[in-house]
Amino acid sequence: MTLLQDELLAGAEDPEGLKRLIQLADQVVRTWQPAWSPFLGARLQEEALARLNNLSEIGWHRDGGYPGAERCRLLCHRRDQMGEADACAPAYGLLIEGNFLFDPLSPQDIRNALQELGAAPDQIGDLWVRGDRGGQGLCTPESAAQLHEQCGRVRDVDIRCEALAIEALHLPAQRTPRILQTVEASCRIDAIASAGFGLSRAKIVGHIKAGRLRMNWHDVRQASRELGVGDRLQLQDRGALEVLSLTRTKRERWRVELRRS
Q: What is the pLDDT of residues 42-57, one digit of tens each?
A: 999 999 999 998 888 8
pTM of the model: 0.89
Q: What is the pLDDT of residues 197-255, one digit of tens each?
A: 999 999 999 999 999 999 999 999 899 999 999 999 999 889 999 999 999 999 999 99
Q: Radius of gyration of the chain from Cα atoms?
A: 20
Burial state string for 149-167 with b = 16 or more CB within 10 A and e = fewer than 16: ebebebeebebebbbeeee
Q: Which domains does the chain have, with CATH numbers?
A: 2-86 (3.30.1370.160), 92-168 (3.30.70.330), 178-260 (3.10.290.10)
Secondary structure E strands in the chain: 35-40, 58-63, 72-78, 92-97, 124-129, 134-139, 151-154, 157-164, 178-184, 213-215, 218-219, 232-235, 239-248, 254-260
Average pLDDT over residues 109-118: 97
